[in-house]
Structure 1
Amino acid sequence: MLKKYLFLTKPGILFGNFVTTLGGFLLAAQGSVDFLLLLITLLGTTLVVASGCVVNNIIDQDIDQKMQRTQNRAMVKKSISVPVALVYAFVLGFIGFSILWFWVNEYAFLFAVIGFVVYVGFYSLWTKRTTIHQTIVGSISGAAPPVIGYTAVANQFDMGALLIFIGYALWQMPHSWAIAIYRFDDYKNAGIPILPVARSIYRTKIECVIYILLFAAVLNGLYCFGYTNVFFLITFNALTAYWFYLSIIGFKAENDQLWAKRFFLYSVILITLLSLSFSFTYQSPAPNLPLF
């Protein structure tokens, strides 16, 4: 029974957002980590993300039953009722938002609200079913956790927060499209107008290259503006160069699904290593460049 409720929160997504929240926190902490604040921030953010994932499961029941990888989810099998799932989501969200409001700060709370509203309202309820631009909308919610982590420490939205917000959002694009190519038939059967299905896999590969270059350009700004040191410059660009290489060889791939799986898995490795690298690639003292 507990396993059903755990999987309703999408553990894979929880882990990914846990890592990116940690990354934002480590960047802002500049080596001086308040472990209690870190624990509270991670807990609050994880609960909010979990709440959003439960609501997404409720909304996507009709889509999930048409996709092989999701057709055994609890909401599809009716092993958890909608009212129970809604109460579960409310409790998770209430506790998560309360933690961020009372024990972190208003910036962390604000970006948690932005991420939740965009994911549930603008992405799950609207754009996922209607437009190829769904991935751009979804990337906004995906980029909220690192900013929550960053602002939890910095207590301001500065240039560093803006760069990781844009950078992590840009990363979401090739990452999400890789899943859609790998699970192409699922997305096609469900009628989801994501780029590979609505346009073509070839066009998606071209846009992946473009977004990787934009991702690299934006996050190199962390070094240019003095938030990170030369170790960041070396490690980040080495990691991204390999991702770029994988995107290029995709044009000659004999099996798009196998290539997309490799491309997707590396994107997860990259964002994880990038986030963890902020524990030693920060620049101290960081520049004081507040935006608001």
Structure 2
Amino acid sequence: MKLKRYWLVVKPGILFGNLISAAGGFLLAAQGRIDWALMLATLAGLSLVVASGCAFNNCIDSDIDARMARTRTRVLVTGVMSRKAALAHGGVLGIAGFALLWFGANPLAFACALFGFAVYVGVYSLYMKRRSVYGTLVGSLSGAVPPVAGYCAVTGRFDSGALILLCMFSLWQMPHSYAIAIFRLQDYQAARIPVLPVVKGIDRAKQQIVLYILAFAVATVMLAVGGYAGYGYLAVACATSLWWLKMALAGYRQSVDERVWARKVFFFSIITITALSVMMALDGQPHAMGGLVVV
């Protein structure tokens, strides 16, 4: 149990999801020419940084977590783990992760991870989450960092491919997060977190879910239009985006159970982003690496 608490405090589900997207970005850029040492350092470094951010987030949110049914059994809320231990654990993980990225990958991958960590812990967790309806939008930037950092670890530059990945994964976060906020509405109300469904209502959140899925669909297609991914990826991107959009539009039926509907939209969002991460890895296009350099 003593070791288990150190694992639970880093939010394993979030950690695994970010690992898949980071691998997708890395393999998209690698185009089959995989430097295994670089891949190991990049994925391990990013995983440690994400784990560190989650540990710090748990420390910051322990008072909020105590008011929510979904989170009131977390180790810091129940007292199984002390805040001091969690902070120390997060600090060690962060130092190890950033060191791996600096020495094992490149300064750009390190900078991407640092940006994501600063946004998630410093801007989102410490300030925006509790004070603004735009907290979800700010948090979406940090959630998009792992695939971008994975991509930049290979290319050593932030080009149009990295920009598309940033847009894709940021846009995906929005309907994904709003769906959670709808089917967990009572939790967010109890914790007084100003997410869109709480502040503006569920109908407004439904509208935003549809609009963000449309924007996400355009961004996913751009990866193929820009020559970074092939027709197999494009077929999966179109199929998943259209089906996700169909599910979102079903929320406007008068007979719909909004909690059940939102839960379905949420679960399909995970299927969508996982499928796209896999297809990025399998169906990248080598000639695309000459894309427009942004930085």
TM-score interval, normalised by the smaller of the two chains: over 0.9
Q: Is the Cα–Cα contact under 8 Å of residues 152 and 162 in structure 2 kept in the other structure?
A: yes
1:230 aligns with 2:231: yes
Q: Is the Cα–Cα contact under 8 Å of residues 43 and 96 in structure 1 kept in the other structure?
A: yes
Which string of whole-angstrom CA distances, capped at 9 and with x for unpartnered residues, describes residues 60-81 of structure 1?
0110000001011111112211
1:200 aligns with 2:201: yes
SS of 1:69's equivalent? coil
Question: In the aligned structure 2, how far is the partner of 1:279 from the partner of 1:62?
Answer: 40
Structure 1 consecutive aligned stretches of length 4 or more whose deviation exceeds 3 Å: none
Q: Is the Cα–Cα contact under 8 Å of residues 27 and 279 in structure 1 kept in the other structure?
A: yes
Which string of whole-angstrom CA distances, capped at 9 and with x for unpartnered residues, describes residues 35-92 of structure 1?
2221221110000000000000000011000000101111111221121111111100
Aligned to 1:98: 99
State the Cα distance separating 1:287 from its structure 2 match: 4.0
Aligned to 2:156: 155
1:290 corresponds to which of 282, 289, 293: 293
Q: Is the Cα–Cα contact under 8 Å of residues 5 and 75 in structure 2 kept in the other structure?
A: yes
State the Cα distance separating 1:6 from its structure 2 match: 0.6
Aligned to 1:251: 252
State the Cα distance separating 1:21 from its structure 2 match: 0.3
Aligned to 1:70: 71
Aligned to 1:121: 122
- The gaps in structure 2 that reach 5 residues or longer are none
1:264 aligns with 2:287: no
Paired amino acid for 1:132: V
State the Cα distance separating 1:279 from its structure 2 match: 2.3
Written as runs of structure 1 = structure 2, the 5 A alignment for 1:181-200 is 181-200=182-201
1:32 aligns with 2:65: no
Q: Is the Cα–Cα contact under 8 Å of residues 23 and 281 in structure 2 kept in the other structure?
A: no
Paired amino acid for 2:81: I
TM-score, length basis structure 1 = 0.98
**Matched residues, number:** 292
Question: In the aligned structure 2, how far is the partner of 1:175 from the partner of 1:37?
Answer: 31
Question: In the aligned structure 2, how far is the partner of 1:157 from the partner of 1:254?
Answer: 43
Paired amino acid for 1:243: W
Paired amino acid for 2:264: R
Which string of whole-angstrom CA distances, capped at 9 and with x for unpartnered residues, describes residues 192-217 of structure 1?
00001111111101101100111111
Written as runs of structure 1 = structure 2, the 5 A alignment for 1:45-56 is 45-56=46-57
- The gaps in structure 1 that reach 5 residues or longer are none
1:42 aligns with 2:32: no
Q: Using the aligned pairs only, state the percent identity.
A: 47
Paired amino acid for 2:165: I
Q: Is the Cα–Cα contact under 8 Å of residues 17 and 145 in structure 1 kept in the other structure?
A: yes
Q: Is the Cα–Cα contact under 8 Å of residues 225 and 287 in structure 1 kept in the other structure?
A: no
What's the C-alpha RMSD, in Å, of the aligned pairs?
1.0
Q: Is the Cα–Cα contact under 8 Å of residues 25 and 281 in structure 2 kept in the other structure?
A: no
Question: In the aligned structure 2, how far is the partner of 1:250 from the partner of 1:36?
Answer: 46
Q: Is the Cα–Cα contact under 8 Å of residues 30 and 285 in structure 1 kept in the other structure?
A: no
State the Cα distance separating 1:167 from its structure 2 match: 1.0
Question: In the aligned structure 1, how far is the partner of 2:36 from the partner of 2:252?
Answer: 45
1:278 corresponds to which of 273, 277, 280: 280
Question: In the aligned structure 2, how far is the partner of 1:165 from the partner of 1:274?
Answer: 14
State the Cα distance separating 1:103 from its structure 2 match: 0.6
Paired amino acid for 1:290: V
Which string of whole-angstrom CA distances, capped at 9 and with x for unpartnered residues, describes residues 166-190 of structure 1?
1100000000111111111101100
Question: In the aligned structure 2, how far is the partner of 1:244 from the partner of 1:280?
Answer: 25
State the Cα distance separating 1:281 from its structure 2 match: 1.8
State the Cα distance separating 1:146 from its structure 2 match: 0.5
Aligned to 2:23: 22
